[in-house]
Amino acid sequence: MGECEVRDALMGEVKRHRYWKSSAFKKMQFDRLEMLSCLHYVLESFTEARSTSEATEAVTPGQILDQATTSIQNPWDYEVLPSSMFTDQVRVLEMPGSSTINSVRLVILKEPTTAFIAAVWAQTSAIFAGTHDLCYMCHGRGVKECHHCKGCGKKPCTACCGTGSVRNFTKLKVYFKTERSEFFTETEVPEKLLIHASGKEIFSEEQPYVCLFDTVLPITKYPVQEINEKSKLFCAQHLQNSMGMCRVIQQRHCLVAIPVCKVYYTLGNTKGIFFVYGNDRQCYVPNFPSKCVIL
């Protein structure tokens, strides 16, 4: 990373945050460029969890029904594929062969709702007005129609919608989720900035999780011991988290080296540092001025 790249990266940061005026920026001198590297290790496990619940719906005329034809009750016996790997998603479907048909009866309402108070109020108010207006609720009959049955005395069943039959079935929910663990070697640039930085990929591996022996193996022989320890720890944690709760479909991990340049500068009588990091040359100024510096 050369001085021109560093100056261009700083110029972009200055324009965004107005740390210094252009005249001050041009007078800045770079005393020393210290090239560093931050290692970024990431382990991702794409997991699947399932749950079941009973559901009911009305049977509509002409509906093709799938009656119960199997005794399989284990939700894991059915294959459900995600739309894409390492993308959180939820799939909801009916368990095959879990449908049964039941009959229900209509509910009869025998007690109409009265509106005598409304009728009396309308007649009383009409005396002072000199005219006779019908109650807007009962229209002079003294009785208000039930809003459920509309005066017929019967209310359709909410379960079957008046068809007389309901279908019971088992609803299967499949949850696909990505568990992610990452580690950065020590550097003065905050991790919240480095997480979006690009770098050079040193190592990458992806494996389908068929059984315990098909998982990605932790890194063990990298020269930086911290990476070996974190890789072993993350692999053990992901395996422990999935036991009894979900199953791992696929795993992948990678190691990326993010370039970091520590720049020592002099601006007038002030000395300071800033950092340029990533392949896209982002800039981080740790102790920036609270307002523009004019020299």
**Is 160 inside any structural domain?**
no
Note whether 180 and 150 are same-domain residues: no
Q: Write out pLDDT tens, residues 115-156.
A: 434 444 444 444 445 556 777 677 777 677 777 676 676 776
Full domain range(s) for residue 197? 3-45+176-284
Q: Give yes or no: residues 219 and 119 share one domain.
A: no
Radius of gyration for the alpha carbons in the chain, expressed in angstroms and rounded:
36
- Using CA atoms, how far apart are residues 240 and 263, in angstroms rounded to an integer? 43
Same-domain status, 268 and 234: yes
Same domain, 180 and 37: yes
Query: 168 or 233: which carries more pLDDT confidence?
Result: 233
- Whether residue 29 lies inside any domain: the answer is yes
Structure confidence at residue 66 (pLDDT): 58
* 242 found inside a domain: yes
pLDDT at 256 over 90: yes
| Shared-domain flag, residues 184 and 232 | yes
Flag whether 74 is in a domain: no
| Residue 148 included in any domain | yes
Mean pLDDT of the 23-29 span: 75
Position of tokens 């025998």? Answer: 110
Does residue 134 fall inside a structural domain? yes
Residue 20 located in a structural domain: yes
In a domain, 240, yes or no: yes
Structural domains in the chain (count): 2
Asked if residue 199 lies in contact with residue 258, where contact means CB atoms within 8 angstroms, the answer is: yes
Does one domain contain both 270 and 184?
yes
Same domain, 195 and 272: yes
Residue 110 has pLDDT above 70, yes or no: no
- Give me the pLDDT at residue 253, please: 96
- 153 Cβ contact list (under 8 Å, min separation 6): 108, 109, 110
In this structure, the answer to whether residues 134 and 218 fall within a common structural domain is no
Residues in Cβ contact with 135 at an 8 Å cutoff, skipping those fewer than 6 apart = 115, 118, 119, 121, 122, 123
d(CA 254, CA 236): 16
194 lies in the same domain as 143: no
DSSP 3-state of 126: helix
